[in-house]
Amino acid sequence: MVDKNTRRYGLIGAGMMGREHIQNIKIVDGPELVAIADPDAGSLTSSGKLAGQKVNQYEDYMEMMASENLDAVIIASPNFTHYKIVSDIAEFGTALLIEKPLCTTVADAKALANLSKTHPAIMWTGLEYRYMPPITEFIRHVHSGLTGKPRMISIREHRFPFLKKVGDWNRFSENTGGTLVEKCCHFFDLMRVIMQEEPVQIFASGAQDVNHLDERYDGRIPDILDNAYVIVDFKSGARGVLDLCMFANDKEQQEDIYTLGDKGRLDVKIPGADLTWTPRSLKSGWTEHIETPPHALAAGDHHGATYFQLKDFQHAVITGAKPTVTALDGLRSVEMGAAAHLSIETGRAIKLNFET
């Protein structure tokens, strides 16, 4: 007997992130992966083996859509393909989980955000950092009023360089949207979620100083930034800062986040998973370790976030609930990243006036 909560999933994009989704589909109740599409034979073969013999494989995603009766599709293909893929398959009316960034340009992201308003099923943006259990708990504490009204937020990511991808597509900003879109859309999304308001101005400084400078692709040198500071001003006068370094290979804690309000400071570190509360009185602080289930940690490289996001996505597919992470959220994170790049290029602060 088929469980009433079982839903048929297709996957477009069988590379590194696609394989992470495959591993999580295996351990979440309800999703049944029935088909994978990817034009790269090597990716398709390796992901097909990981998924199992019962999963059909396609080079053409439109052939997959026409051949399979799917309830939901996860799009984990290269960033620059998202707009065309979503536009092509929208006619099938399936629920969609689109990996970050939603698109590589603001114009394309706006188009998909508008499409989501009339799409008959949910459109979900894969900004899964919200779902890392330590960060989820961090957000809960801030929203409960622990820090008081947040006035400052700092996000620091010091990490290793971009990984190798099929065809090295991620070596060029035209394919990724640029580092501050491709990678940092996660952090701009977190700022909006934690602060519960929209930004009004962004000023950034950044460069490509270390990574990939000795690489050549058809004579071209990669052009992706590897370090930046970004200052974000919010409508209320609160502010945030992003500190990014992608040549800090030995950094023990890859992400450090803290929020300061009139009552004190709350910190969280990843992968350490410790929350530290420091009240202004300095008399009753605490540190709490947030455990992530081992099976969730083992199923990917995002501290269990992909597992918990998929559970929420599956629940929305079954119940018709609104997506937790919308196409509009995806658009906003792209807009912020694009504004940061424009600020670096022009040397000036960029005003933001988001359309509702």
- Alpha helix positions (H), the chain: 16-27, 41-51, 61-67, 82-89, 106-116, 133-143, 173-176, 179-182, 185-195, 294-298, 305-319, 327-346
Average pLDDT score over residue span 313-322: 96
What's the chain's average pLDDT?
A: 96
Pick the CATH number of 130-292+326-351 from 3.30.360.10, 1.10.1200.10, 3.40.640.10, 3.30.70.920: 3.30.360.10
Q: How confident is the model at residue 110 (pLDDT cuts 50, 70, 90)?
A: very high
Q: Is the pLDDT of residue 1 over 70?
A: no
Query: What's the chain's Rg over C-alpha atoms?
Result: 20
Pick the CATH number of 7-128 from 3.40.50.300, 3.40.50.620, 3.10.129.10, 3.40.50.720: 3.40.50.720
Residues 38-48, buried b or exposed e (16+ Cβ, 10 A)? Answer: bebeebbebbb
For residue 260, give the nearest of 332, 155, 337, 180 by alpha carbon.
Answer: 155
Q: How confident is the model at residue 2 (pLDDT cuts 50, 70, 90)?
A: low
Residue-wise pLDDT for 28-45, tens only, equals 999 999 999 999 999 999
- Yes or no: say if 228 and 242 are a contact pair by the CB < 8 Å rule: yes
Half-sphere exposure (Cβ direction) of 148: Cα atoms closer than 13 Å: 12
**Rounded Cα distance, 325 and 265, in Å:** 26
Amino acid at 282: L
pLDDT of residue 52: 87
The DSSP 8-state label assigned to residue 220 in this structure reads B
pLDDT of residue 281: 87
Half-sphere exposure (Cβ direction) of 5: Cα atoms closer than 13 Å: 10
Q: Is the pLDDT of residue 351 over 50?
A: yes
Residue-wise pLDDT for 122-163, tens only, equals 999 999 999 999 999 999 999 999 999 999 999 999 999 998
pTM confidence score = 0.96
Average pLDDT score over residue span 305-329: 97
Q: What percent of the chain has pLDDT over 90?
A: 93
- Yes or no: say if 135 and 124 are a contact pair by the CB < 8 Å rule: no
Residue-wise pLDDT for 195-241, tens only, equals 999 999 999 999 999 999 999 999 999 999 999 999 999 999 999 99
For tokens 């960060």, the residue is 135
Average pLDDT score over residue span 59-65: 98
- Yes or no: say if 16 and 42 are a contact pair by the CB < 8 Å rule: no
Residue-wise pLDDT for 243-282, tens only, equals 999 999 877 899 999 999 999 999 999 999 999 999 998 7
Break the chain into its structural domains and give their ranges: 7-128, 130-292+326-351
Q: How confident is the model at residue 5 (pLDDT cuts 50, 70, 90)?
A: confident
For residue 202, give the nearest of 61, 344, 299 by alpha carbon.
Answer: 344
Q: Is 54 helix (H, G, I), strand (E, B) or coil?
A: coil
